[in-house]
Structure 1
Amino acid sequence: MKIRSAKSCAWDQVSLGEVMLRLDPGERRIHTARAFDIGEGGGEYNVARGLRRCFGLRTSIVTALADNPVGRLIEDLMLQGGVDTSHVRWVDYDGVGREARNGLNFTERGFGPRAAVGCSDRGHSAASRLKTGDLPWKALFGERGARWFHTGGIFCALSETTAGVAREAMEAAREHDVRISYDLNYRPSLWKNFGGQARAREVNRALMPYVDCLFGNEEDFVAALGFEVPGVDEGYRDLDTAGFRRMISEVVATYPNISVVATSLRTARSASVNGWGGILYCKGEFHEVAQRDIEILDRVGGGDSFASGIIYGLLSEQSPEWALQCGVAHGALAMSTPGDTSMASLAEVRRAMSGASARIER
């Protein structure tokens, strides 16, 4: 892919998505908790933060927040993460959140036979109320400039208007030669309010002609686009990589504008141990990192860190093989720490890519 030079752009990467306040009960369950740790998170935002904090790139988030203490708390967390907040749209708060509020995401980590649980409280959020014409895309991409734009299926599922916002952003990005990535990130709990799986496929298929780089796992491609993965069992416990290759070939034949497709390979042996790897297609060639078992502390955000590692590899003009190895390593490290967002450093990612052991460093 031809990518604009860093010198010609104010930002290396820009994300569009909702940023929520995450509440984590630690080792307890949501329904038995008496205290929560807090952090910020959201699929599209997590990519921008990973690129900023781990890989040192200039990133920005385009979102909306209700202007109240919770919104300002989320802003403070984003500022600590180093992501530029100049494109946050602040919405007046009416005192109770009838018109706009800030989303909350309660997340408990799984362990052993007990799966992780997420409970979102994000209805009527400021980000879900965004509509076409609200955001200055031409100024952002044309006057200031960005090298890469990222959004995904979570944002598009927030309301009847958000898919239009994503399309408007993609049109402006393509007009100004900005590379576009999209994470299918299918969430049935979100789409069920807007026509279910049929509507998800309609929305995602309409956006695919704008996409350069597509992310998704096996369930995403089936549910969000309607491409079947041959040889995969119903519970996604046995992932046949030959089936993934055939499916990806069908995707790029249908949408020839897509030059990169990346999918993480995850097999959940238990909530605490997952098989983890990845496949990347780039310009007619496949690259694969075979699954190996990794221990999981908090699986949320692993896929976003996988995506940010691959985007970093592409932006830094590394080989597709290197980019995939970077994504797999970054995703694994992100799942070894709590919270949505990566706490890894580039040195740690490189160390994991080299196969170094986890012996203590002194």
Structure 2
Amino acid sequence: MKVVTFGEIMLRLSTPGFSRFVQASTFEVTFGGGEANVAVSLANYGLESYFVTKLPKHEIGQAAVNHLRRFGVRTDFIVRGGDRIGIYFLETGASQRPSKVIYDRAHAAITTLREGEVDWEQVLEGARWFHWTGITPALGESVQEELRRALEVARRLGVKVSADLNYRAKLWSVEEAQRVMRSLMEYVDVCIGNEEDAEKSLGIKPKGVDVEAGKLEEAAYRELAQELKRTFGFEAVAITLRESYSASVNGWSALMVDDRDCREGYRSRRYEIQLVDRVGGGDAFAGGLIYGLLTKGDTREALEFAVAASCLKQTIPGDFNLVSAGEVEKLAQGTGSGRVER
């Protein structure tokens, strides 16, 4: 099965261990980005996974391409050009100290995309699924226009579309996000997000939700998912539920409302995670949900797969979820005790 994602991949520079930026004398180097992370997950599960972006022709751009290829992602449609690859710096938090991200992504190659550089008819020919996140249109008008072109072709070809709302305050304002994102929702079949994304990106505020309290009111999230579905006509809405006790321990589950097995709203199994690296956790969820919806007959099973996949990712350093479908199934159907496998 062919799946396609579109967005920016960045160079990630992380402080070693739990060091602070002001302590670091070296950085650990890898690559990551919302849609690229999803593409890697889908490739690991055995799907024909393509990632579309624009990267410089120089060696760092090539290193990003090589990194994707290493994990089985098809890079046939990556456009080469522009002067630089975006960078983000990560300081991993612990206990009551939160993680921090600093972006250096202005004028990245993807922002120079122009009409005609990507042949979306060719890219999406034979594809079953197209995925994007709210990070991509936040990169500027030229990227918004390219995304809309992709979505129009996907609709014409009958390709299912998912969007992870992923609001990023460091990239655009609430007003601009809502103006752009609400106009793009007509192309979306499956919407993924959390309570902040729904409010900041789409202007729909959940009632009775207090994220900082450490407790989740399931009924409030169920109502939020149903309101999103009614307002925009989505086939399915998945809301991730993170209970942030500290930067080291989180509760993790999700709730979905759809037209099939989750009409009244279905909440998944809940995991308590000892965090290693939560960056990319939402992308791992999106990748797991796409795989589940493509391969499983019951959408509740698809949601359980997605939550288990994301749980495992948050125990792995780096942006990518480097697990197999079998490992995810084992957690989804087992105890998650973490005993040594011999």
Q: Same fold (TM over 0.5)?
A: yes
Partner of 1:9: none
CA drift at 1:292: 3.5
1:216 aligns with 2:216: no
Q: Distance in 2 between matches of 1:130 and 1:327?
A: 32
Q: Does 1:15 align with 2:5?
A: yes
Question: For residues 63-99 of structure 1, what are the alpha-carbon distances to aligned partners after superposition, in whole Å with 9 as ceiling and x for unaligned?
Answer: 000111111111111111211111110005xxxxxxx
Aligned to 1:107: 90
What's 2:341 paired with?
361
Match of 1:95 in 2: none
Is 2:37 aligned against 1:46?
Answer: yes
Matched, 1:140 2:119: no
Match of 1:149 among 125, 130, 133: 130
Aligned length: 337
Match of 1:89 in 2: 79
Is 1:296 matched up with 2:286? no
Q: Which amino acid aligns with 1:140?
A: V
Aligned to 1:244, which of 190, 202, 221?
Answer: 221
Q: 2: CA distance between counterparts of 1:50 and 1:345?
A: 8
Residue 160 of structure 1: how far off its partner (Å): 2.1
Written as runs of structure 1 = structure 2, the 5 A alignment for 1:57-68 is 57-68=47-58
Residue 159 (1) aligns with residue 140 (2)? yes
Tell me which residue corresponds to 1:178. 159
TM-superposed deviation, 1:106: 1.1
Closer, same or farther: CA 297–168 of 1 in aligned 2, 3 Å = same
- Name 2:184's counterpart in structure 1: 207
Percent identity, aligned pairs only? 39
For 1:306, give the aligned amino acid. F
**What is the letter of the counterpart of residue 116 of structure 2?**
G
Tell me the SS of whatever aligns to 1:127.
helix
Deviation at 1:39, TM superposition (A): 1.4
Distance 1:199 1:236 in 2: 29
Matched residue, 1:260: 236
In 2, Cα distance between the equivalents of 1:171 and 1:337?
Answer: 36
User: Which residue number in structure 2 is paired with residue 230 of structure 1?
Assistant: 207
Structure 1 residue ranges (4+ consecutive) displaced by more than 3 angstroms after TM superposition: 234-238
Unaligned runs of 5+ in 1: 1-5, 7-11, 93-99
Shift of 1:327: 0.7
Partner amino acid, structure 1, of 2:127: A
Q: 2: CA distance between counterparts of 1:51 and 1:236?
A: 34
SS at the partner of 1:154? coil
What is the CA distance between 1:318 and its match in structure 2?
Answer: 3.2
CA distance in 1, matches of 2:255, 2:213: 16
TM-score, normalisation: structure 1: 0.90
2:303 aligned residue: 324
Structure 1 Cα separation of the partners of residues 5 and 265 of structure 2: 27
Query: Residues of 2 paired with 1:289 and 1:221: CA distance?
Result: 20
Q: In the alignment, what sits opposite 2:67?
A: 77
User: 2: distance between equivalents of 1:91 and 1:70?
Assistant: 12
Distance, in Å, in 2 between the alignment partners of 1:236 and 1:160 is 37
Q: Which residue type is aligned with residue 233 of structure 1?
A: D
Deviation at 1:130, TM superposition (A): 1.8
Q: How many Å apart are 1:290 and its aligned residue?
A: 4.6
Distance in 2, matches of 1:151 and 1:322, equals: 23
Aligned match of 2:108: 125
| Secondary structure of 1:161's aligned partner | helix
What is the SS of the residue equivalent to 1:102? coil
Q: Please tell me whether the aligned partners of residues 213 and 261 of structure 1 are also in contact (alpha carbons under 8 angstroms).
A: yes
Farther off after superposition, 200-209 or 311-320 = 311-320
Select 2:245's aligned residue among 269, 274, 285. Answer: 269
| Residues 210-266 of structure 1: CA deviation (Å, up to 9, x unaligned) | 00011111100011001111111264643212111112211111122x101111100
For residue 280 of structure 1, what is the aligned residue in structure 2?
256
Alignment partners' CA distance in 2, 1:116 and 1:318: 38
| TM-score relative to the length of structure 2 | 0.95
TM-fit CA distance, 1:299: 0.5
8 Å CA contact retained: 1:112, 1:271: yes
Q: Distance in 2 between matches of 1:205 and 1:236?
A: 29
* Superposed CA offset, 1:260-316 (max 9, x none): 111110011000000110001111342111534211000000000011111101111
Check conservation: 2:161, 2:189, Cα contact below 8 A: yes
Task: State the alpha-carbon separation in 1 of the partners of residues 114 and 251 from structure 2.
Answer: 40
Q: Distance in 1 between matches of 2:224 and 2:181?
A: 16
Conservation of the 8 A alpha-carbon contact between 1:205 and 1:225: yes
**Is contact 2:212-2:244 (8 Å) kept?**
no
Q: CA RMSD in A?
A: 1.4
SS class of match (1:223)? helix
